[in-house]
Amino acid sequence: MRQATSTRLQGLHLVPFTLYLPPLSLQLMSKKVRVRFAPSPTGGLHLGGVRTVLYNYLFAKKHGGDFILRIEDTDQTRYVPGAEEYIFNCLKWTGLEPDESPQHGGEYGPYRQSERKADYRQYAEQLVKDGHAYYAFDTPEDLEKMRTDFKTDHNPSPQYDHSIRMKMRNSLNLTAGEVKQLLDAGTKHDIRIKMPENETVSFTDMIRSEVSFETSLVDDKVLLKADGMPTYHLAVVVDDYLMKITHAFRGEEWLPSAPVHVLLWKYLFGLENMPQWAHLPLILGPNGKLSKRDGAKYGFPVFAMSWTDPKTAELTEGFKEKGFLPEAFINLLALLGWNDGTEQEIFTKEELIEKFSIERVHSGGAKFDYEKGKWFNHEWIKRSAIQNLKYEVRKLFAEKGITDTNDALMDKIIGLVKDRCTLLTDFYDQSVFFFKTPEQYDLNAVKPKWNETKQLFFAEVIRNFELSNDWNAQTLENNFKEIASINQIKPGDVLLPLRVMLVGGKFGPGVFDIAEVIGRDETIIRITKALSAFNAG
RNA sequence: GGCCCGUUCGUCUAAGGGUUAGGACACCACCCUUUCACGGUGGUGAUACGAGUUCGAAUCUCGUACGGGCUACCA
């Protein structure tokens, strides 16, 4: 793998010239980096998709290139309204916005494959003319029959390949006249690639170096469907060419069909123009490739943002709604399969752009660990400036009915509780007591040791607080401890009860900080109210 | 079944032939804190197996096992 590094880098012209000086012609031809993310708008955008976006984006920005978003909507049967806009929202939230897209425009449009439909057939026809593809008139039923007829224990899923194609209805074994007749009659047909029988197709993947395939083992993939739309295989090659894509990153699940793409490049546009490939390792769930189901089953988000299936109305919660900061989300995704070789784990987007390199992407799949994911978010919340959290926290409060939030109060509260919040949504539980008098108390924490001495002590605290003319945490603490000392009570014995009085439970920031924020009246009200609860029962 | 990819603590990973195999999450203990956290210190814990190459292998080669992906007129 190390040896392949120099090979990979040559294409990027990053090898120091002391080691490798590319020919002048190559240097002059050095193209602007252009990468693309090409989702099909069929539903929620999951972790793996966002990571692919991230790696594309980082690579583009690092090399001063362009990041393009292309919508692969060639399957009309899978059209899902709203999915495209949803993808844009996700990119916007994560801050990984494309330079060119259906919405941003650009010079290489259209950026929706359905809008380029007419272009694809000419390339497919060209392939037929050159003998690299053929018309196939098989109906779905014919194909189904083929699969059952040729199915054996030895070969459970027969493919439409060189061993089968001469037994099917296609332009390879029909006469030219028959084919013309069928075509003229407007017979439904598709176009398949004719895989060579004895070739080895290999290419250099930026992550796994040399990968090779025997063409006789690859099936004759459909290139153009009967409805005139291209399949992914044709579209990805044509579009990458037309959009001048220089580097193509996609999930490892595409590796088996890579030889088809390489061959199409060879036949259509020349291998020298083919983008450099990088097949990204898969993000795994507890059982294989991470799926939406895993999220539901194990209780963690899988999609970037919440997605509601328009057909079933089923809602799948996203990382955003779960309480993740986009910075943390990006950070955790970046580290899932990549690291910079140091022990640094927290990276800003700018640092990632600076340090990212596709060669350091791991080749093995990575199991997603939600606990570690939450750790990243916690780190980001702790390190975030109060200003960066205020908008989201205030929104959360508003959703819960807390609207009396002025800036000074928010600053104070966020500063006090942010270290204790792993998710943005934790801010509610961690600060609700600033706004609401506790309804219930953790009596177990107080009752066993509750006695008359303490009761009298708090009565005195109330009197003292009523007269205190300097309402701040430090003064309150001093007074409180002084009263305790006079009554020969250890401060520790009354601190916890005070906390439960103000908060309701054993958690939260310093008690006197809380008292300072909620103010004199509310503090006294809470102590008084709690006193009767403690004394009762 | 076939093809392809992969395999270092439970998880994410570092280590470019020579390290007591390093870090992080999680877990445990202790310290700090008279709350909960934060923070600090320490601990448990890994090179899948077998051959080969080499003075020396986590690292290179081969085999085996295991895991994953693909095997649609879906992407």
CA contacts within 13 A on the Cβ side of A202: 7
Q: Angle formed by the axes of helices A407-417 and A511-535, to 10°? A: 80
pLDDT, position A21: 35
pLDDT, position A288: 86
Q: How far is the CA of A368 from the C1' of B10 (A)?
A: 13
Q: Give the separation between CA A187 and CA A189, rounded to whole angstroms.
A: 6
Q: Nucleotide B70: nearest residue by CA–C1'?
A: A256
Q: Give the separation between CA A489 and CA A439, rounded to whole angstroms.
A: 28
DSSP assignment of A462-513 equals HHHHHH-S--SHHHHHHHHHHHHHHTT--HHHHHHHHHHHHHSSS-SS-HHH
Specify the nucleotide whose C1' lies closest to residue A208 (CA). Answer: B5
Hey, which residues does A303 pair with through a beta bridge? A46, A318
Listed in sequence order, the residues at least 6 apart from A423 whose beta carbon sits closer than 8 Å to its beta carbon are A322, A323, A324, A374, A377
Q: For strand B, give the nucleotides within 7 A of a protein CB.
A: 1-8, 10-16, 22-26, 34-39, 60, 67-75
Specify the nucleotide whose C1' lies closest to residue A209 (CA). Answer: B5
Contact in structure between A146 and A164 (CB atoms under 8 Å): yes
Q: Give the separation between CA A518 and CA A499, rounded to whole angstroms.
A: 13
pTM score: 0.92
Catalytic position from the list A292, A349, A374, A454: A292
pLDDT, position A16: 30
Whole-complex ipTM = 0.96
Is A92 noted as a catalytic residue in this protein? Answer: no
Specify the nucleotide whose C1' lies closest to residue A366 (CA). Answer: B12
537 residues of chain A, pLDDT tens digit each: 333 333 333 333 333 332 333 333 344 457 899 999 999 999 999 999 999 999 999 999 999 999 999 999 999 999 999 999 999 999 999 999 999 999 999 999 899 999 999 999 999 999 999 999 999 999 999 999 999 999 999 999 999 999 999 999 999 999 999 999 999 999 999 999 999 998 999 999 999 999 999 999 999 999 999 999 999 999 999 999 999 999 999 999 999 999 999 999 999 999 999 999 999 999 999 888 999 999 999 999 999 999 999 999 999 999 999 999 999 999 999 999 999 999 999 999 999 999 999 999 999 999 999 999 999 999 999 999 999 999 999 999 999 999 988 999 999 999 999 999 999 999 999 999 999 999 999 998 898 889 999 999 999 999 999 998 889 999 999 999 999 999 999 998 999 999 999 999 999 999 999 999 999 999 999 999 999 999 885
Q: How far is the CA of A1 from the C1' of B16 (A)?
A: 9
Q: How far is the CA of A23 from the C1' of B54 (A)?
A: 38
pLDDT, position A469: 84
pLDDT, position A245: 98
Q: Nucleotide B3: nearest residue by CA–C1'?
A: A217
pLDDT, position A29: 55
Q: How far is the CA of A279 from the C1' of B17 (A)?
A: 29
